[in-house]
Amino acid sequence: MNAVIEARNVTKHFDVGRKQVVHAVDDVTLDVYEQEILGLVGESGSGKSTLGKVLLGLHEKTGGDVFFKGEKLPQRYRPADFQRYASRMQMIFQDPYSSLDPRMTVDEIIGEGLRLHSNAQTIPIRERISEWLCRVGLEPDHASRYPHEFSGGQRQRVGIARALIMEPEFVVCDEPISALDVSVQAQVVRLLGELKSSLGLTMLFIAHDLSMVRYVSDRMAVMYQGSLVEVGASDDVFFRPKHPYTEVLIGSNPLPDPKSERKRRAISIKGEITAPINIVAGCRYADRCVEVMDVCRSTTPPLLALSDATGERLVACHLYK
Amino acid sequence: MPIRSEISSDDPPVLTVDDLHVEFDTYGGIVKAVRGVSFNVRAGKTLAIVGESGCGKSVTVQSIMGLIPMPPGRITRGTAMFEGVDVIKQKIINGQDIRGDRVGMIFQDPMSSLNPTMRVGDQIAETLQVHRGYSHKQAFARAVDLLGETRIPEPAARARQYPFTFSGGMLQRAMIAMAIACEPSILVADEPTTAIDVTTQAQILDLLLELQSKTGMAVVLITHNLGVVARMADDVAVMYAGEIVEKGSADDIFYRASHPYTLGLQGAMPSNDPEREQGLQPIEGTPPDMFDPPKGCAYYARCPYAMRLCAQNHPERSPLNPHHYANCWLHHDGAPQDIAPHLFRGETA
């Protein structure tokens, strides 16, 4: 399979003053294959959104390289770089309330990309906008309205149309359904699935709803404090987690089944995720891990392929060596 | 019909709400937010109220607690018997008599529910000073104990800190500490884990279950997460457009769903069972306009099994067992039996 995105040892540090550095993304190596949906899960503060933004150049990389279809992306984007890549890589944002400019009409929001990229002038822009409004389940006459006239689910559709009208090859969906009601989540997920198959999209789907990520994605990657701890086929990771953190994360997810929930003992993890500030060697999960060993505190476990697994399965844990 | 007395159980319920109607005056007209809601909660039990945003689940409990501003809000009908007193009639709701004392509340967003300019310990202590007449010193000492009971590490040091130094999960624990300070007989939790991660959510849910088994308090849990409902609830009320459309035990709702909307909510969530996965089934359309709620069934426009009758006639409450009912015409004797194959229609078929 061809990789659309290849991230190689990507690192993003934020300097927060007082000589403190937050290791938001640390040494992440990850491929996103053509026409797949890769789910990225983790707690808030685990660096999943930052990784998504680094891949698109919305954050400058501290280290490492990102390749887009074999082409090395710049370390730091200049305006011309954004102009060049914005039509090929797009982002769907989490919050449909704050990610749309309240002073722009839907027509202006969706058409802005087309108007900026002169090569898209071949088809009249208005027709393209009407077409996309229909495609995401809105009406063509919604184009003259402002974002506040729409419900959350409708706004998210505007956000999707805005991103996909450029017909990008790679889309980062940053928690696209978290702000929506259950029934609307299903509508948006189904829409993304339809658009994925009709456009042949490649997606990085960031979310914290584990059941939904399993349902949506082909593969799943789990992040903890800026590092990947496990990568594999979605069903494998969800039903047969290997890393102790993945196990706890999946185990914390309550299932809509009272009988199995009643049997469940208290499964909660101890402690809370802390900001990865001034990281030293060792496994970042060691302090909360129930299976911690001496080596975990001194050596950082690399992300390695499991030998006995079916299909690709990468785990960063000293238990599997 | 004998359904008025839904509770045939041993203990009298802690809270019994009957035929509650709440309206709001707005520029656009009168919003009929709650339209005839009845339920009850018994000691030591958890009632979950589920439904989409805007279905009236929060307004229901807030109006009972006296937390909706009046005007523009208005309770037009109904009673809420709490420990033998009708809190709506008695106007106690405007005072602080029961709130924070006999009734504890926790909210969705702990960050905005706590006072950012007060130390966490002082905020918890305030409850005890107001309702129990404790001195500040006594109350603060108790606040430290409560923070410990809600599993906050180093409670004595944490009590002296301000909310911004707490993580989201810890803030929710502090909220719970405050809510249980006066040993309430009922705890109302309005989306307590919606804004937090699954791992922290599991911790908070475990804590609530532990406190409930220790104190025997009743819990009213408002949520839209069916996983949380399955973990916590004894009874479930499904709300749609200001009404309870189906109510029953958790097993009734999850395994014997009898209203098309309940089935719709379940179908819109991933099942986590690859064997019987048939794809998500979104509920198409949007909830009705609450300025002018439909005369017939509110779910008519979105219901895959809607019949002509449903548009004009409000569905009757159909009992399926003494504790389980659904408001749906499909349970009427005259309704066709061959549609809605997944709908539970009672034991006798």
- ipTM confidence: 0.80
The domain that holds A42 is classified in CATH as: 3.40.50.300
Q: Is residue A159 part of a domain?
A: no
Q: Is residue A161 part of a domain?
A: no
Helices within B133-197 (DSSP H only): 136-149, 155-159, 168-179
Question: If you classify domain B2-102+184-331 with CATH, what class do you get?
Answer: alpha beta
For B109-129, what is each residue's pLDDT tens digit? Answer: 778 888 999 999 999 999 899
Element (H, E) at A81: helix A79-85
Q: What is the domain range of residue A249? A: 3-88+166-253
Question: What residues in chain A have their Cβ under 8 A from chain B's Cβ atoms?
Answer: 43-44, 151-153, 181-187, 189-190, 208, 210-212, 214-215, 235, 238, 248-249, 251-261, 264, 266-269, 272-273
pLDDT band at residue B247 under the 50/70/90 scheme: very high
Q: Is residue A209 part of a domain?
A: yes
Q: Is B1 a residue whose pLDDT tops 80?
A: no
Q: Which residues of B touch A248 (CB under 8 A)?
A: 199
Q: Is residue A221 part of a domain?
A: yes
**Residue B68, amino acid:** I
Q: Do A252 and B169 touch (CB under 8 A)?
A: no
Q: How far is CA A19 from CA A10, A16, A60, A278, in A?
A: 22, 7, 20, 9
Q: Is residue A303 part of a domain?
A: no
For B122-154, what is each residue's pLDDT tens digit? Answer: 999 998 998 888 899 999 999 999 999 888 888
Q: Which residues of B touch A153 (CB under 8 A)?
A: 286
CB–CB of B224/B211 below 8 Å?
A: no
For B258-290, what is each residue's pLDDT tens digit? Answer: 999 999 998 888 877 766 666 788 888 778 888
Q: Is residue A157 part of a domain?
A: no
Which of helix, strand or coil describes residue A132? Answer: helix
Q: Is residue A146 part of a domain?
A: no
Of A151, A153, A212, the CB nearest to B270: A212
Report pLDDT for B3.
Answer: 40
Cβ atoms within 10 Å of A217's Cβ, excluding its own: 24
pTM of the predicted structure, to 2 decimals: 0.85
Q: Which of the 8 DSSP states describes residue A150? A: S
Output Rg (C-alpha) for chain A, integer angstroms: 21
Say how many Å lie between the first and final Cα of chain B, rounded.
Answer: 21
Low-confidence ranges of chain A (pLDDT < 70): 118-123, 265-271, 273, 308-310
Give residue limits of the domains in chain B.
2-102+184-331
Total number of domains constituting chain A: 1
pLDDT band at residue B170 under the 50/70/90 scheme: confident
For A202-224, what is each residue's pLDDT tens digit? Answer: 999 998 888 889 988 999 999 99
